[in-house]
A and B are shown apart, each in its own frame.
Chain A
Amino acid sequence: MHPELVMQLIALGAGAVLLAIAAFTGMIIARRHNALLDAGEAETAGVVMTDIRSFPGPVDHSRPAAFVVAEVVMSVDYFRSWISKFINIIGGEVGVITRIGVRARREALLRLRREAIALGHDAVCNIRLDTCNIRGAEATGKKAGAIIITIFASGTAYTRAP
């Protein structure tokens, strides 16, 4: 065989192996993360979460209300970003990324719950979920690189009155 063809086949094979590895690791990480989220949410179920701008019910004033905040930056593995590029051609929902977005937001909200509990509170109101851009593809004019999902969550933790 022609040596150049061999090199190309090797490169192709390496790409395929990388895709297979990423498909596997991405799946394992997602599964483990979902299990942790389920457990964490069950454990912190007592915290009432609302996005109402002020306090939705009577408040126990003995503990001062406090600002709580959480940030999560999630990567999209090589396989899933490859799939997303493919879906970009045919159009439709990019489910592989939707699911990572869901996990990132659940993680951010879970961290708010944990922080509220750490402060001795049992509710969080005025929750805001924002995204932020730390890659700066627009600012630098560079071509967008790997997909990352950045979530910024904030709220006010307080204690409910009976």
Chain B
Amino acid sequence: MEKIVLPEIKDLHLIEVYENNGGYSAAKKAFARSTDDIIDEVKKSGLRGRGGAAFLAGLKWSFMPKTTNKPKYLCINGDESEPGSFKDRQIFEYNPHQLIEGILIASYAIGANTAYIYIRGEYHKWVKMMQKALDDAYAKGYVGDAMKATFGTDFSCNIYVHKGAGAYICGEESSLMNSIEGHRGYPRVKPPFPAQNGLWGCPTTINNVETITNVPWIINNGWQKFASIGAEKHPGTILYGISGHVNKPGVYELPSGMLLTELIYEVAGGVPGDKKIKCVIPGGSSMPPLRGDQLEGIRMDAESLKAAGSAIGTAGIMVMDEDTDLLKVLLRIAKFYHHESCGQCTPCREGTGWLEKILKRLASGKGTSSDLDLLITVANNIEGNTICALGDAAAWPVKFMVARFRDEFEKYVNKEIQLPVKNKVHAMRGTAVPLADIKH
């Protein structure tokens, strides 16, 4: 199968090798066409965002205002902090020039003369690699003012790398913009949407690294060919990042809509010791987990996973074998979201803390069955009540893990109820523990 994002060509990260393999020819072709034509091509290809929400990339571009006297911006989201996803770093390392070319085409389509690549701070090595590729592209006249002469066009675009500094929340698009502007990474209230009011109040589009890297291939090969790969409603290839209890973890570029079982057992070599699978999180830690005994027939594309009660997310598949302690896993996930909540909205700031505390209580053996219901209640009160999706991301794993693995969690529940206060009747009302469960 042909690889789109990570072709198997040696030293492709070097600009000479990239040029010899047809590099920067897609940009030249694109600049000869109208911007509407490019947006239309990407729309028809059905390319969907690879950052989590799987939104149609072409449609997103078409939201950018055609007539405005403000500058327009393109932001490339390489914050990649979702536990379980490690795909963008492969692009920075092995195919940075295709990303740069994709940025040029996307900037041309939306009319942006400045683009920022936001890379998470921990990726020191990959920030340097991306900067090196960018410097080479500048030196060869593919980026900046010199591109006018190189490509014979009126359009020019500057690309800069912005290094984050260790905040998961900056992967949220409005928070990412605040971070570039030099503020704390607080998400903004939407509307106004970035296409109207983004970076410095100007029209802005934010796309994922992997999404943009697909664009040059679509321009070179046409939308029909792209749309024919993989699942009909979510076409193209996906970088599947498989981690956890598998024999061959790693990133694999394969068509969308692959069977989850095929990915785990054939591509990633199955589970060590031929153990059974207890749980799989299909799209990074914030997506609802699936039961290991219900994986048959589930395909890895946005529509199929939605039908299966989860979501594609970043396609970071985390596999857990039958000996995994799910309470420990969930406690770790809850701790992560508590740590990463930016603190702007009360339900998320306080709620994520409560989730962690309740799970800690369960782990220490002092939890009761009403704690399991309390977890779901708290999660429900976070979900949908916050500015950004981090609230939902914190609520989903807890809500669905407890609901789908209730039998697992019941094992941790202490049947002997310890009342927090001496007045038992009062405590009964307060905690709503069934009378029969209380030992007097």
Partners in one complex: no
